[in-house]
Amino acid sequence: MLSGWENYGTLFIASFTHLWIIVPAVVLGILVGAIPGFSAQNTLLILLPLTLVMDIDTSMAFMVSVYCASHMGAGIPAILINMPGTGGHAATCLDGFAMTKQGRSQEALAISAFASVAGGLFTTILAIAFLPLLSRMGLYLHSVDMVVIMVFGLCLIAMIATDDLVKGLIAGFFGLLMGVVGTDFIYGTPRATFGFIELYEGVPLVPALIGLLAISEAMVMFERETIALSSQEARQKVSGWTGTFEGIRQCIRQWWILAWTSFIGLLIGIVPGAGASIASFVAYAQARLFSADPQSFGRGSPAGLIAAESSNNGVTSGTLVPLLAIGVPGGTTAAVMAVVLQYNGILLGPRLFTDRPETAYGIFFSMLAAYIVMVFLVLPLARYVGTIVLIPTRVLVPLILSLTVVASLANRGYVFDIYVALVFGVIGYICRRTGYNVIAVLIGVLLGPLFEQYLLRSLRLGQGDLQILFSSSIGNTLWGLLALSLALQWWKGRKMRRVLRDGPAAKETINPY
């Protein structure tokens, strides 16, 4: 184990000796993250022959930099064209794209960059300081506890569907129904696949997200001249650095949301298999719950965007904890890192911290260095990248549609996935035009399979007895917190309705999602 600030300081300084590889890795990570459908995992697999021949510390510095930067890069298309490249960035679209439509793309990009960096830095420091404790926390969470965490995420359906609860719930259940497609988690029997082997693993997530959000949005965009509702106003907002500074100001002002939601990301990231999808929605729901202005969520709320982005980057630190502490990768990218570590003869697990503390902690210090590099590389870009909102939709929409084809295909390489994206695009468009909540469908598709997996596993452990769901003390505490959250939500809604009824200026009631 590392002890003493001197050792930490030495490792921190040593991580900057890898700056020559961290800088290009960050640039690469942002690029692959910004191309929907590509991911850090795919990139690291392609570059595996290169990383295998590098010195292990350099190799890990390269991989964690690509990993962190790709998480940040994936926020860019989600904000600018409503196209999430991964499940973890679906929540980014909710307020990120709403801000873009208001001409605040520069501010949104600055928030994304700052919240990602700050969330990543905060959770990395936490991971370094409390690594042994955090690794045990991953082991404390059981399947029944994860069921409650999933319910936290699913409750967002009810939260965002307050304008038309019935339609919102129908949309949510439709999404859950879509999430059931594929082989079941216990016996591996195909369900509702209609003979398509491409559906055996379930509805492919990236094409479904791209269809529901990006393609349906592109169809709607045809009806406007530019993405921004007022191109004149947008032109003023993207010129100069005002948006960037406003984004940074918003993040600093709402520092506690940033810290709290990145911590949620860290905790969920520690649990193998959970990942950024659930973390970002749980974090978003939490930010909305404690917000003084929950009605602004989905309408371009900086707090909503901060929650989604900081939790995403909290997950990146979290997934590495079980990998190093018990030798179990917390996610697919961590699994690729495990290959490289093992190839270099590094034994993962508790002994890593006594045998090679410089490698174990060095990985997190490299992550720290990568985040610092990102501040200087990404923030200045917000001003220029944000001008995309001024491109006429007659040019932008065909570009977006072409990108959706590439993005759908890139993840698994199946042509079938392009059709999935198109089908979900039509579903999304119909939802938008008929007042059904697209995000509720999306949450169902995204979290439904995870919820089913943990629920069936818990019920199997309890041999069918529902009491198993209330058998864990952590789970019971979480159930209590969930009940409190829902009660708080109900109370705030009631208060808000009273204000709206009594006040002269009622807020806009159009469903923002």
Summarize as ranges the residues that interact with other proteins (CB under 8 A).
41, 45, 138-143, 183-190, 197-198, 200-201, 272-273, 322, 326-329, 332, 335-336, 338-339, 342-345, 347, 349-351, 413, 453, 457, 460-461, 463
| Token reading at 157 | 């359906």
Q: Pick the closer one to other proteins by CB: 100 or 458.
A: 458
Nearest distance in Å: CB 53, other proteins: 12
**Residue 195 belongs to what H/E stretch?**
none
Q: Pick the closer one to other proteins by CB: 3 or 463.
A: 463
Contact present, 132 and 353 (Cβ < 8 Å) = yes
d(CA 224, CA 160): 26
Q: Pick the closer one to other proteins by CB: 236 or 342.
A: 342
- SS3 readout for 232-295: HHHHHHHCCCHHHHHHHHHHHHCHHHHHHHHHHHHHHHHCCCCHHHHHHHHHHHHHHHCCCCHH
Nearest distance in Å: CB 460, other proteins: 5
Q: How many CB atoms lie within 10 A of CB 309?
A: 40
d(CA 486, CA 498): 18
Nearest distance in Å: CB 377, other proteins: 28
d(CA 82, CA 461): 40
Q: Pick the closer one to other proteins by CB: 46 or 488.
A: 46
| Token reading at 327 | 């030798």
Q: Pick the closer one to other proteins by CB: 4 or 413.
A: 413
Nearest distance in Å: CB 293, other proteins: 39
Q: Pick the closer one to other proteins by CB: 259 or 474.
A: 474
d(CA 215, CA 424): 8
Q: Pick the closer one to other proteins by CB: 140 or 384.
A: 140
Q: Pick the closer one to other proteins by CB: 184 or 233.
A: 184
For residue 293, what are the CA distances in angstroms to 92, 303, 360? 18, 10, 42
Q: Pick the closer one to other proteins by CB: 296 or 472.
A: 472
Name the phi and psi angles at 290, rounded to 5. -95, 10
Question: How much is the CA Rg of the chain, to the nearest whole Å?
Answer: 22
Nearest distance in Å: CB 263, other proteins: 21
Among 155, 5, 131, 92, which Cα is nearest to 300's? Answer: 92
Residues 6+ apart with CB under 8 A from 421: 207, 208, 210, 211, 215, 404, 405, 407, 408
Strands 190-191 and 182-183: antiparallel
SS3 for 488?
helix
